[in-house]
């Protein structure tokens, strides 16, 4: 069983071995990216498997999105023989990733210090909900808790409505990117120094960091951001929605030049001279009236015609598309972002691949396969000669 069974020999992380103890999204997502970059990722699953395997459609979607190209081995870490196998894999690994509940790895005898004893040069990345230092360090954490406790839900939704979550697991997915970034930096450092590293990433920290612009505005104004629906709080028109003849379009034209161009295009050259719209603060204060004045122009055009008109003069705009429309959009087709994954039973499905292009990591039509629970257990035991490893 070659160490890079799914990857060409020249991908950036070919020859790197990753041991993935992850559940759900944040840790498995980072390991998934490392696999796409060529690493050999061994997914360690308990007898019941990744918890995502047992939660229906959402869980199956998680498995398809974040566990391709991996090899699955079932290990009951409460059993001495299986724990010995896990320790043997850790001793050989370049990277170990986990997001198990706080304290679980320690109870199993796999604390950071114990892992470091097994493998001094390993890069260990641990994901938690709320960090390792504060009063919530033992609390389990999921994406929604991080959205709630970092202000994200407080600024999402209509002004007179309830706080709302972002419509997808943004924090979990972004955390997988942060973990990947930290792991790659640590591997680069190890190349120079020979030293391993311990990485701690929390959903809490990532969710706060995602809102950097809001925190910058808060520091400038002293006014806490709040829900206001569409539109940026301090600029107009910015991220504002206009209905078209066949859908909707989002428009940002808040510099004086772009606002004037927008008004000329809409047949309303009078608007920039109106005191209500003379500058950005005035436009923000009278946003409703501004949108009402511009709406008739967009209502008379279909979405593509509106996009063409706006972009012809350099105004930023985007069609508001639904999930069934996105894959057929010409720019999406040209990007090649959607690839084809597969399951052990031969079923294929469309899934986004790496969100960038590089010469060393070309996009391919094959996104890899999701392993069945324990599919590679015997191969891994034999390949890494785990039966010869001593727990002591």
DSSP lists the bridge partners of residue 197 as 123
Three-class DSSP category at 384 = coil
CA distances from 301 to 230, 324, 329 (A): 21, 22, 19
* CA–CA separation, 150 and 131 (whole Å): 13
Q: State in Å, rounded, how far the first CA of the chain is from the last one.
A: 27
Task: Give the relative orientation of helices 256-265 and 303-312 as an angle to the nearest 10 degrees.
Answer: 130
Residue 26: its H or E element: helix 26-36
What phi and psi, each to the nearest 5 degrees, are found at residue 154? -70, -20
Bridge-based pairing state of the strands 348-352 and 338-342: antiparallel
Rounded-to-5 percentages of helix, strand, coil across the chain? 40, 15, 45
Catalytic residues: 172
- DSSP for 235-270, written as a single string: SSSSSEEEE-SSSEEEEE--SHHHHHHHHHHTT-TT
* CA–CA separation, 36 and 354 (whole Å): 7
Spatial contact of 254 and 283, defined as CB atoms under 8 Å apart: yes
* CA–CA separation, 229 and 324 (whole Å): 24
């Amino acid at each position: 069983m070659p160490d890079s069974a799914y990857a060409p020999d020249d991908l950036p992380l070919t020859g790197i071995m990753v041991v993935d103890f992850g559940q759900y999204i944040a840790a498995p997502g980072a390991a998934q990216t490392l696999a796409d970059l060529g690493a050999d990722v061994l997914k360690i699953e308990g007898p019941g498997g990744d918890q995502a395997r047992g939660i229906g459609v959402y869980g199956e979607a998680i498995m398809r999105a974040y566990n391709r190209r991996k090899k699955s081995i079932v290990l009951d870490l409460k059993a001495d023989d299986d724990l010995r196998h896990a320790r043997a894999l850790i001793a050989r690994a370049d990277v170990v990733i986990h997001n198990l509940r706080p304290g679980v790895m320690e109870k199993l005898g796999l604390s950071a210090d114990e892992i470091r004893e097994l493998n001094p040069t390993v890069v260990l990345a641990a994901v938690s909900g709320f960090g390792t230092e504060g009063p919530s360090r033992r609390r389990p954490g999921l994406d929604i808790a991080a959205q709630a406790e970092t202000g994200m839900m407080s600024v999402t939704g209509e002004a007179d409505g309830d706080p709302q979550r972002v419509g997808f697991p943004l924090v979990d997915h972004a955390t997988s990117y942060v973990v990947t970034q930290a792991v790659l930096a640590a591997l680069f450092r190890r190349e120079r120094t020979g030293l391993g590293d311990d990485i701690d990433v929390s959903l809490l920290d990532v969710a706060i960091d995602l809102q950097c612009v809001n925190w910058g505005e808060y520091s400038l104004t002293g006014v806490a951001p709040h829900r206001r629906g569409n539109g940026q709080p301090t600029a107009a028109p910015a991220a504002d929605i206009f209905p078209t003849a066949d859908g909707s379009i989002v428009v940002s034209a808040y510099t004086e030049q772009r606002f004037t161009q927008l008004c000329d295009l809409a047949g309303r050259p009078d608007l920039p001279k109106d005191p209500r719209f003379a500058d950005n603060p005035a436009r923000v204060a009278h946003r409703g009236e501004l949108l009402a004045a511009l709406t008739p122009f967009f209502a008379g055009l279909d979405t593509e015609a509106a996009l063409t008109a706006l972009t012809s003069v350099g105004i930023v705009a985007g069609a508001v598309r639904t999930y069934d429309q996105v894959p057929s959009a010409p720019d999406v087709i040209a990007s090649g972002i959607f690839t084809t994954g597969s399951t052990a039973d031969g079923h294929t499905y469309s899934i986004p691949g790496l969100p960038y292009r590089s010469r060393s990591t070309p996009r391919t039509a094959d996104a890899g396969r999701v392993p069945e629970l324990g599919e590679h257990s015997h191969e891994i035991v034999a390949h890494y000669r785990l039966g010869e490893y001593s727990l002591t």
